[in-house]
Structure 1
Amino acid sequence: MKTVLILGAAVWADGPSPTLRRRTLRAAQLYHDGEVDQLIACGGLGKHPPSEAAAMYDLLVSAGVPAGAITLEDQSTTTGENIAMAVPLLKTRDVVIVTDWYHGPRARLVARRNGLRAKSVAPSLRGAKAAVQIRAMLREVPAYVAYAMRIK
């Protein structure tokens, strides 16, 4: 059994952000391809309702994923919380983390620290704005260093 952890991203006033949508649809693809059989949508309430997990649930069901394959972790607000709060919901220690390419290394580090065997898969960048990706990557570098040094 393989489980996918879909890491949260913003919900905007008018619905899921493009990042949240890309991550969620990539997880749905993994499910339909038979690579995973449990999906955990991670993410609490941000600036706009619903929670990131609830928004992912709606996207997954719309993409044909059965409701019974989806578990919500809807309290977390950080990468560390996404993964730590998902651990009690897991039926396995083998996980596939769906997050953006620049975020994967830190997410895997956090997962390993929580006793998981993890790999990460990134969604397509189709439709992603280059400036947003570059800004996020630049923010991720010091965040990774902080996590690696156990500051966060």
Structure 2
Amino acid sequence: MTLVAIVLGAAVRPDGEASPTLRLRVEHAVALYHRGAVAAVCVTGGVGRHGPAEAEVAARLAMSLGVPERDVILEDRSRTTVENIAFARPLIGVHQVVLVSNRWHLPRAWVVARILGVRASVSGPRGRMSTSRTIAATLREVAALPSTVWRAWILSKRSAPKPEPRAR
């Protein structure tokens, strides 16, 4: 089965470059690509506080690190973890993916993928944040889980296939 890495979006700096978080995620996905663990890299994220779109910045970075353009898939409309996964799914054409993000973010992302019907494994780089920042990020993830699950569940119900009417 062909696996695709979905790099979950992260901020772009005011100068239009990848934030350290986005860079870390892309570098990790590129390493998976070069090891042959994934066949393509799908970068996600729309325009946040600073342009250009997170996915555009991530795509340029992935290609500069040796991923051919043909193996980079761009999803540049999403603004949340739920949208990253939901909007990437129709672009990649597979139902099994490797979610790439920071390790503290991956449990919430994995739950979203499951709710949306995406079979996902997770892979995250070793973090470079201080212990106090890692704890703060983890607590933020725990606090975000209920509303994220709710949004993913609502979206899954809207996009779920409608049952066929029964013949009488």
* Band of TM-score, shorter chain: over 0.9
Secondary structure of 2:140's match?
helix
Q: Does 1:19 align with 2:21?
A: yes
Structure with greater strand share of residues: 1
Q: Is the 8 A contact 2:82 2:151 kept in 1?
A: no
Give the aligned partner of residue 71 of structure 1: 73
Query: Where do residues 74-113 of structure 1 align in structure 2 (5 Å cutoff)?
Result: 74-113=76-115
Secondary structure of 1:72's match?
strand
Secondary structure of 2:90's match?
helix
Question: Structure 1 residue 121: deviation in Å?
Answer: 0.7
Q: Is the 8 A contact 1:97 1:120 kept in 2?
A: yes
RCO (CA 8 Å, sep 6+): is it higher in 1 or 2? 1
Q: Is the 8 A contact 1:87 1:114 kept in 2?
A: no
Give the aligned partner of residue 161 of structure 2: none
Question: Structure 1 residue 39: deviation in Å?
Answer: 1.1
Q: Does 1:120 align with 2:118?
A: no
Question: Structure 1 residue 151: deviation in Å?
Answer: 5.8
Given the two structures, how large is their TM-score scaled by the length of structure 2?
0.84
The size of the alignment, in residue pairs, is: 150
Question: Structure 1 residue 139: deviation in Å?
Answer: 0.6
Q: Which has the larger radius of gyration?
A: 2
Question: Structure 1 residue 135: deviation in Å?
Answer: 1.8
Secondary structure of 1:27's match?
helix
Give the aligned partner of residue 55 of structure 1: 57
Separation (CA, whole Å) in 2 of partners of 1:12 and 1:131: 22
Question: Structure 1 unaligned runs (5+)?
Answer: none
Give the aligned partner of residue 141 of structure 2: 140
Secondary structure of 2:108's match?
helix
Q: Is the 8 A contact 2:82 2:148 kept in 1?
A: no
For the aligned residues, what is the CA RMSD?
Answer: 1.4
Secondary structure of 2:121's match?
strand
Question: Structure 2 unaligned runs (5+)?
Answer: 153-168
Q: Is the 8 A contact 1:18 1:128 kept in 2?
A: no
Secondary structure of 1:4's match?
strand
Secondary structure of 1:85's match?
helix
Amino acid in structure 2 at the alignment position of 1:144:
L
Given the two structures, how large is their TM-score scaled by the length of structure 1?
0.93
Give the aligned partner of residue 42 of structure 1: 44
Amino acid in structure 1 at the alignment position of 2:5:
V
